[in-house]
Amino acid sequence: MKNKVPFKEAALYWLKLGFISFGGPASQISMMHEEVVERKKWIDDKSFFHALNFTMLLPGPEAQQLATYLGWLMHGRIGGFTAGILFIIPSFFILIVLTYIYVNFSNSPWGEGILYGVKAGVIAIIFSATIKIARKVLNKYYYWLTAILAFAAINVLDVNFPLIIISAAIVGLFFYFKKNGNKNISQNSYKPSNEIYKKSIKTFLIAVILWSLGFTLILLSREDILSNLSLFFSKAALVTFGGAYALLPYVFQNIIENHGWLTSQQMIDGLALGESTPGPLIMIVTYVGFIVGWYNDILGLGSPLLGAIICAAIATFFTFLPSFAFIFIGAPLIESSKKNKSLDTPLSFITSAVVGLIANLGFILAYNSLWIDNGGTEYFDIHLFILIILSFLALTKAKVGILPLLLTLAMTGAMMKFYF
């Protein structure tokens, strides 16, 4: 299949997709299927869905990883790298500009009103996403139980996010072994050639070297914030199964509660910007890095903008490097067999836990937004509550798109700030 598609034509498509891919992973995957499979017929249905199933097993942004995989199928590693990079580059620069506007003008009456309205949409989007995932995944009582336990673990017991994911994976493996036995597992196994193993090991070593070089340069700068950012997003990229909505609870628990780099309100605003721009929603890491760099004097530069851009680039690099590595390491192995089902059950348990974690994120953001502390006296923001309910109904019943919804809410919030 490689090289049958003109490289320039494919590259132009991936760049276009980077500018028009609004609506989150489900919408982006649909766009790719319609264009790459149905219209252009670059990839057949079987290969597309086989690639999709593999990316769903991985931590990180499934839509960006799928684009990388499809690019690899057509033009090898250079094709995969081109597809993956062009899918995120437009979003990176757009978010840099929007975040700069946010930190400079969000305190104006218009800025406050716009963010107030968009906040309702963000909370509604999270609950809508939770329900969509739950309907697909929670089809057995033990998956429901896993989601509930995950919610309780992070909300009540304050258990660390990766520990919850690892525990869910272990339970899933145990469940699979108990249900199928070793005989069934051996039937599902496959043995790729030694050449494929060698290529995957070589790719793994290259990824480790690239990470080490990047981290070494940061260590040489002797800037603790930069090293902490790189380690945090490297770890996040390895444990956040379920894409962007899985990353958000992890970021919330660590960056807000443990490091104190962002406030809850800033996180909500960042999610709003992420939802309003094309590209993977996980690009919110660019926003997080920008905010951290803006409010800390990075490297003694004395320039908030330059420090913010450096931190945004570091957060983005260390988040997406593992995503490329996963595809270039795993795609050759996965293509050698298309019948291995042994990971399906553990993945379902992990995804069930992610449902609980996303529900917890929505709960925390909603609670912090609806209950306002006014000089020691708390009151319930009924206007925001109504906006959240209306936004949720618009998403789930009227099937309104995310971008039109957020634009409408931005105008509504601006008017409310002037008239209420």
Q: Interhelix angle for 161-188 vs 141-155, to 10°?
A: 150
Give the per-residue pLDDT at 47. Answer: 81
Give the per-residue pLDDT at 182. Answer: 56
Sign of CA dihedral 174, 178, 183, 184: negative
Q: How many CB atoms lie within 10 A of CB 166?
A: 14
Give the per-residue pLDDT at 312. Answer: 95
Give the per-residue pLDDT at 420. Answer: 66
* CA atoms in the 13 A half-sphere facing the CB of 33: 15
* Tokens at 90, concatenated: 């437009």
- pLDDT digit string (tens) for the chain, length 420 residues: 444 788 999 999 999 888 877 656 766 777 788 788 878 889 887 788 778 767 877 888 888 999 999 999 999 999 999 999 999 999 999 999 989 988 887 667 777 788 788 788 878 887 887 887 788 778 889 999 999 999 999 888 878 777 887 888 889 888 888 877 655 555 555 556 677 788 889 999 999 999 999 999 999 988 889 999 999 999 888 877 666 666 777 777 788 877 788 888 888 788 778 777 888 878 889 999 999 999 988 888 888 999 999 999 999 999 999 999 999 998 887 776 555 566 667 777 887 887 888 788 788 778 878 887 666 677 888 988 999 999 999 988 888 877 788 888 888 988 887 776
Buried b (16+ CB within 10 A) or exposed e, 117-138: bbbbbbbbbbbbbbbebbeebb
The pair phi, psi for residue 5, each rounded to 5°, is -95, 130
Closest to 364 in 3D by CA, of 374, 356, 375, 376: 356
